[in-house]
Structure 1
Amino acid sequence: MTRITRRAVLGACAALAAPATLRAQPRTIRWGDLLPATHPQVRMIDRIARELREKTAGRLEIQSFPGGQLGSGRDMMEAVSTGALQLTTDGAGALSAFLPALSVVEAPYLWRDAAHMAKVTATPVFARLNGELVARRGMRMLGVTYYGKRHLTSSAAKPVRGVADLAGFRLRVPPVDVFRAMVEAWGGRPTPINFNELYLALAQGAVDGQENPLPTIHAAKLFEVQKHLVLTGHIITPRMPIVNEAFWRSLAAPDRDAFEAAIASAAQWQDAELLRQESELVATLKGAGMEVIEVDVAAFRAPVLARVPAQFAERWGQGTFDTLAAL
């Protein structure tokens, strides 16, 4: 008679249990962002992570890396393209470094408001651009979120009350050529600086001012190093969750569906939260010591529209700017 030892029984149990244990291990998904952890865009990622964990019974686990922990926006998009990072969030202008035609989605004075901008996802233009991004760079846009209406800020020594005050003004912009062209149309000196270096650059006087949406100005505490808030409203910025295509296709179809649903739900919250903050933040920033300057927006718009759409028409496609503006 074969003697069954305790060691044999334990070994058999371990062998049987091992596959189930391995299957239960969550798949870790890294998502990088330039913005601080308090910004609604990063809180959106946290909401997506919670919902996705619940809907997949813990199979998919998102780890968020805010505040530029994984490098500049360009660094993170490069990493998503190669598959070293699964997701990041960035603007259309920044993403145009990989697909130049995408910069039209973040063109100055294109969108009327957040609802107008949201219409772009249903257009053939967006579908074509997304297909080209997948084919050329192995990345996919999973939607469009509202990042906010961009305004100028300036140092105490450089108040901006009209376009003429921007002559020779050193304005920090993202490393995006459409932004540079906009500032040049105003007569300013565009100065590209990575966002995670911006606070220090302003504090040291390397630039005279910068431009961003109100929630970003507040979350990054730029009011500590800028005196004037200039309400130009020059760009309504979209920001897109960007995923590595090979990783995306490696997910089971139900998990992709759960992911998309979580993004849609969290993005809806984020957009509403940013709009709520924008409605309050002018007063908040004024209370923090900034002088709020209301300018003639039409005077800022005119030189930009006279120059920028024509300058980029070949890249964007003839008539694309006007087609999107008319949505």
Structure 2
Amino acid sequence: MFKYSKAIALACAVTFGGVTGAAEAATQLRISTAAPENSPLTDAFRHIKKKMEEAFPGEVTVSVHPASSLFRQGTELPAMQRGNLEMASPVTFEIEAQLPEYGVFSSGYVFRDPAHMLKVFNGPIGAEFYAKVADKMGLVILDTAYLGTRQVGLRDVKNIKTPKDFSGVKLRMPPGAAFQTLARAMGVTPLAMPITEVYLALQTGSIDGQDNPANMTRDWKFNEVSKEIVLTQHIVQPVFIAISKTAYDKLTPDQQKALRAAAKEATAIEVQKTIEDEKSAVEGFKKAGIVVSEPDLELFRANAAKLYKEEGYETKWQPGLKDKIDALQ
């Protein structure tokens, strides 16, 4: 009797131990992003979820939390570094705060268009940058996506062609010293305010305009209180698909390989969708009777380069990096 009971107990211990072991082996990846529910970036993260859970059923679970529903915008990166979050979509401004030598990535008119930006991050410059971010910040950048190209929306028609035409214009822009410099290069007076207050501020004339990618201008309905869209193209903005190094190192080699492949597929889809969405938004503005201006970008680009040099920003950047970026065709 004793031997029989002991055998049963041993069998139960093995069984429950196996269940516990399986549960512990399951890896959870939570993805936090400020991107809206219906954005191409959120779609990209859903693609990663689908691919990983199909490839590793019961081994890897992925949850996507858009619209800052899990972590507030700006808190995701430190959460990953503290081990409180697995994945997010940091931007250059957040990384620059810890690696100022890469501040050039956040500067105005550094990238000519999305293709140029992606060539930078998909080549040797990007590889070196990714390695530095992993080593110094504990983040693994899986791939680079495209958040959009910032344009200016004005509540009144000014037919902008040169920086001088922006004289006296009060423009809502993100906060930060680098944006102040870019604003001067563009000829505008920058004002910082939460994006949720911009519609009313445009409506009442507290500001004369705002800067956002065309599709975001449409999604926030700023076009309803705008009469001119100026294609200044002052920032072609990358966004990174990133995972904390701690979470990445817990994945098996096969899981790491699959995650990188899924991220590569997801960003390709996201980039194409974003480019098409921006074009669609601009066409919609034209059909609605909004003036769409195409200014002389060389004047804006020259002003920005001059001020970044004069105000000492270039001295903080990695020597020669801007020239390498400029040289890429």
TM range (shorter): 0.7 to 0.9
Query: Which residue is equivalent to 1:52?
Result: 52
Alignment gaps of 5+ in structure 1:
none
1:313 match: 314
Q: Is the 8 A contact 1:231 1:294 kept in 2?
A: yes
Question: SS state of the match for residue 48, structure 1?
Answer: helix
TM-score by length of 2: 0.85
Q: 1:161 to 1:187 in 2, by over 3 A?
A: closer
- 1:201 paired to 2:198: yes
Residue 129 in 1 paired to residue 126 in 2? Answer: no
Once structures 1 and 2 are overlaid, which stretch shifts more, 259-268 or 103-112? 103-112
Percent of aligned pairs with the same amino acid: 26
SS where residue 144 of structure 1 aligns?
strand
Deviates more, 1:108-117 or 1:255-264: 108-117
Residue number in structure 2 paired with 1:258: 258
Counterpart of 1:318 in 2: which secondary structure? coil
Shift of 1:114: 2.1
Match of 1:223 in 2: 223
Q: In 2, Cα distance between the equivalents of 1:132 and 1:177?
A: 24
Equivalent position SS for 2:199 = helix
Using the alignment, how far apart are the partners of 2:272 and 2:243 within structure 1? Answer: 23
| 1:67 counterpart letter in structure 2 | A
Q: Find the aligned partners of 2:289 and 2:99 in 1 and give their Cα distance.
A: 40
Q: Which amino acid aligns with 1:117?
A: M
User: SS of 1:38's equivalent?
Assistant: coil
Please say if residues 33 and 66 of structure 2, whose CA atoms lie closer than 8 Å, have aligned partners that are also in contact.
yes
Which has the higher mean CA deviation after the structures are superposed, 293-302 or 83-92? 293-302
Look up the SS of the partner of 1:109 in the other structure: coil
Amino acid at match of 2:200: A
1:185-200 pair list within 5 angstroms: 185-193=185-193, 197-200=194-197
Instruction: Name 1:35's counterpart in structure 2.
Output: 35
Q: Which ranges of structure 2 fall in alignment gaps of 5 or more residues?
A: none
Distance 1:15 1:231 in 2: 66
Q: Distance in 2 between matches of 1:40 and 1:188?
A: 30
What code does the residue aligned with 1:56 have?
Answer: F
Which digits, 9 at most, give the CA deviation of each residue in 1:228-286, with x for residues without a partner?
32111122111111221111112111111111000001111111112222332211234
CA RMSD of aligned residues (A): 2.9
**TM value normalised by structure 1:** 0.85
Deviation at 1:48, TM superposition (A): 1.0
Distance 1:45 1:177, change over 3 A: farther
Note if contact 2:160-2:166 (Cα within 8 Å) is conserved in structure 1. no
Is the 8 Å Cα contact of residues 202 and 225 (structure 1) preserved in structure 2?
yes
Please state how far the C-alpha of 1:188 moved relative to its aligned partner.
Answer: 2.4
Contact 2:150–2:213 (8 Å) recurs in 1: yes
What is residue 278 of structure 1 aligned with on the other side? 278
The corresponding residue for 1:293 is 293
Deviation at 1:303, TM superposition (A): 1.3
Is the CA contact 1:309–1:321 (under 8 Å) kept in the aligned structure 2?
A: no
* Cα offset, 1:153, TM superposition: 1.2
Q: What is the CA–CA distance in structure 2 between the aligned matches of 1:160 and 1:13, rounded to whole Å?
A: 79
User: How many residues in Structure 1 have an aligned counterpart in Structure 2?
Assistant: 321
Aligned partners of 2:265, 2:309: CA distance in 1, in Å? 34
Tell me how far apart the structure 1 counterparts of residues 250 and 159 of structure 2 sit (CA, whole Å): 51
Could you tell me how far apart the structure 1 residues matched to 2:285 and 2:9 are?
Answer: 65
- Structure 1 position 3, deviation (Å): 10
Equivalences for 1:12-23 in 2 at 5 Å? Answer: 16=15, 19-20=18-19, 23=22
SS of 2:190's equivalent in the other structure is strand
1:302 shift after superposition? 2.6
C-alpha spacing 1:123/1:68, structure 2 compared with 1 (3 Å): same
Task: Tell me the distance in 2 between the aligned counterparts of 1:308 and 1:119.
Answer: 23
Deviation for aligned residue 1:207: 4.0
* Partner Cα distance (1:257, 1:169) in 2: 50
Q: Distance in 2 between matches of 1:170 and 1:62?
A: 43
Retained in 2: the 8 A contact 1:147–1:274? yes
Q: Is the 8 Å Cα contact of residues 202 and 226 (structure 1) preserved in structure 2?
A: no
SS of the residue aligned with 2:109? coil
Query: Larger deviation: 228-237 or 104-113?
Result: 104-113
Q: In the TM superposition, what is the alpha-carbon distance from 1:40 to its structure 2 partner?
A: 0.4
Correspondence list, 1:2-21, <5 A: 16=15, 19-20=18-19
Aligned-residue offset at 1:22: 5.4
